[in-house]
Amino acid sequence: MTEAPILSSQSQHDPTVYPKSINGQQLKNYISSALIWLKTNQQTVNSLNVFPVPDGDTGTNMVLTMQAAYNEIANSDETNVGKMSKDIAQGALMGARGNSGVILSQILRGFARTLDSLPEMDAATFVHALAESRNTAYKGVVRPVEGTILTVIKDIAAAADESYKRGSSLDVILEDLVKAADISVRNTPELLPILKTAGVVDSGGKGLFFLFEGILRQLQGATLEASAAVVQPINAMNIGNAMDEIEEGQDVEVVIDFKPFRELDLQSFYQDLSNIGTSIQVGEGDGIYRMHIHVEEGKQDLPHEYITRMGIWTREARENLRAMMPKYSLAEVQPGQIAVIVISPGDGLSRIFASLGAAAIIEGGQTMNPSTEEILNSFENLPTEKVIILPNNKNIILAANTAKSLSVKNVAVIPSKNIPQGLSAILRINPEGDFNKIVEEMNEALTEVECGEITIATRSVELNGVEVEEGKVIGLVNGQLVIAASSVEEACMQVLEKADVQSRERVTLFYGNNISKEEVDRISDLIKQKYPDHELEVHSGGQPHYQFIISIE
Domain count for the chain, please give it. 4
Nearest to 100 by CA among 65, 125, 130, 126: 65
Domain end point (choices 320, 347, 365): 320
d(CA 82, CA 529): 67
pLDDT score of 8: 38
171, 68 Cβ separation under 8 angstroms: no
Number of other CB atoms surrounding residue 120 within 10 Å: 18
For residue 143, pLDDT over 50 is answered with yes
Q: What is the mean pLDDT of residues 141-168?
A: 94
505 shares its domain with 374? no
Is there a domain that residue 237 lies in?
A: no
Confidence band of 43 (pLDDT split at 50, 70, 90): confident
pLDDT score of 496: 95
179, 126 Cβ separation under 8 angstroms: no
Confidence band of 251 (pLDDT split at 50, 70, 90): confident
Residues 6+ apart with CB under 8 A from 75: none
Is there a domain that residue 346 lies in?
A: yes
Confidence band of 389 (pLDDT split at 50, 70, 90): very high
CATH number at 185 reads 1.25.40.340
Residues 6+ apart with CB under 8 A from 425: 390, 414, 416, 442, 443, 445, 446
98, 84 Cβ separation under 8 angstroms: no
397 shares its domain with 478? no
Domain end point (choices 448, 469, 485): 448
304 shares its domain with 386? no
pLDDT score of 253: 86
Is there a domain that residue 2 lies in?
A: no
Which amino acid is present at 373? E
- Which residue blocks in 41-169 are alpha helix, DSSP H? 42-46, 58-73, 81-95, 98-115, 123-139, 149-165
Confidence band of 462 (pLDDT split at 50, 70, 90): confident
Q: Which domain holds residue 421?
A: 338-448
Hey, which residues does 452 pair with through a beta bridge? Answer: 477, 550
> What's the mean pLDDT when you consider all of the chain?
88
Share of the chain above pLDDT 90, in %: 66
pLDDT score of 296: 85
Is there a domain that residue 67 lies in?
A: yes
pLDDT score of 533: 92
Q: What is the dihedral of CA 144, 146, 148, 154, to 10 degrees?
A: 90
What confidence tens digit (pLDDT) does each residue in 523-545 have? 999 999 999 999 999 999 999 88
CA 465, 467, 468, 474 dihedral sign is negative
CATH number at 464 reads 3.30.1180
pLDDT score of 185: 96
What confidence tens digit (pLDDT) does each residue in 408-424 have? 999 999 999 999 999 99
CATH number at 261 reads 3.30.70.260
Q: How far is CA 283 from CA 239, 280, 366, in A?
A: 10, 10, 20
Is there a domain that residue 37 lies in?
A: yes
pLDDT score of 227: 56
533 shares its domain with 480? yes
Q: What is the mean pLDDT of residues 66-75?
A: 94
157 shares its domain with 270? no
Q: What angle do CA 150, 366, 546 make, to 5 degrees?
A: 140
440 shares its domain with 456? no
Hey, which residues does 233 pair with through a beta bridge? Answer: 284
475 shares its domain with 495? yes
Is there a domain that residue 459 lies in?
A: yes
Q: Beta 450-456 vs 546-552: how paired, if at all? A: antiparallel
Range of lowest pLDDT (10-19, 315-324, 386-395)? 10-19
DSSP 69: H
CA 323, 402, 97, 108 dihedral sign is positive
60 shares its domain with 186? yes
What confidence tens digit (pLDDT) does each residue in 281-332 have? 888 877 889 988 888 888 889 999 999 999 999 988 888 776 644 567 899 9
pLDDT score of 322: 64
Residue 497: strand, helix, or coil: helix
137 shares its domain with 54? yes
Q: What is the largest CA-CA distance in the chain?
A: 80
pLDDT score of 117: 87
What confidence tens digit (pLDDT) does each residue in 340-373 have? 999 999 999 999 999 999 999 998 887 788 999 9
125 shares its domain with 210? yes
534, 501 Cβ separation under 8 angstroms: yes
498 shares its domain with 372? no
Hey, which residues does 284 pair with through a beta bridge? Answer: 233, 289
DSSP string computed for 407-436: -SSEEEE----SHHHHHHHHTT--TTS-HH
387, 407 Cβ separation under 8 angstroms: yes
pLDDT score of 236: 56
pLDDT score of 317: 86
Is there a domain that residue 464 lies in?
A: yes
Confidence band of 464 (pLDDT split at 50, 70, 90): confident
Is there a domain that residue 13 lies in?
A: no
Domain end point (choices 220, 238, 255): 220
456 shares its domain with 432? no
